[in-house]
């Protein structure tokens, strides 16, 4: 009997799935990879795949950065304390 279970840490994602998960265009994705700001793909035959756990870790890091900025008083373009857009005097 063959098991269909895949360890999420070793699951490989296609580029289209990575792009959907992170909301990036192909050119942005490859630009960030070149700059060292996104996980590198794994060559598989004549295509490439991304390790799911690495992509999920990258997403978690972005969320942590956002939460750290918010805890330090930054609103990053959100709603200011007066209810209006941040950075605009009422």
CATH of the domain at 66: 1.10.238
pLDDT, tens only, 51-80: 999 999 999 999 999 999 888 876 655 555
pLDDT band for 37, please (50, 70, 90 cuts): very high
**Verdict on whether the full-model pTM lies above 0.85:** no
pLDDT at 72: 83
Whether 81 is covered by a domain: the verdict is no
- The domain total for the chain is 1
What was the pLDDT predicted at 69? Answer: 85
Sheet holding 12-13, edge to edge: 12-13, 47-51, 42-44
**Cβ–Cβ under 8 Å, residues 29 and 21:** no
CA distances from 35 to 28, 29, 32, 64 (A): 10, 10, 5, 21
Please provide the average confidence, as pLDDT, over all residues in the chain.
Answer: 84
Residue 83, domain member (yes or no): no
Residue 44's pLDDT is what?
96
pLDDT at 16 over 60: yes
Domain membership flag for residue 89: no
Question: Which residue range(s) make up the domain with 52?
Answer: 9-71
């Amino acid at each position: 009997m063959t098991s269909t279970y895949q360890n999420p840490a070793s699951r490989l994602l296609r580029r289209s799935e990575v792009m959907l998960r992170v909301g990036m265009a192909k050119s942005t994705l490859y630009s960030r990879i070149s700059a060292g700001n996104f996980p590198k793909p794994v060559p598989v035959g004549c295509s490439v795949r991304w390790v799911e756990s690495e992509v999920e870790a990258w997403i978690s890091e972005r969320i942590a950065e956002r939460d750290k900025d918010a805890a330090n008083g930054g609103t990053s373009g959100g709603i200011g304390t007066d209810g209006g857009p941040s950075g605009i005097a009422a």
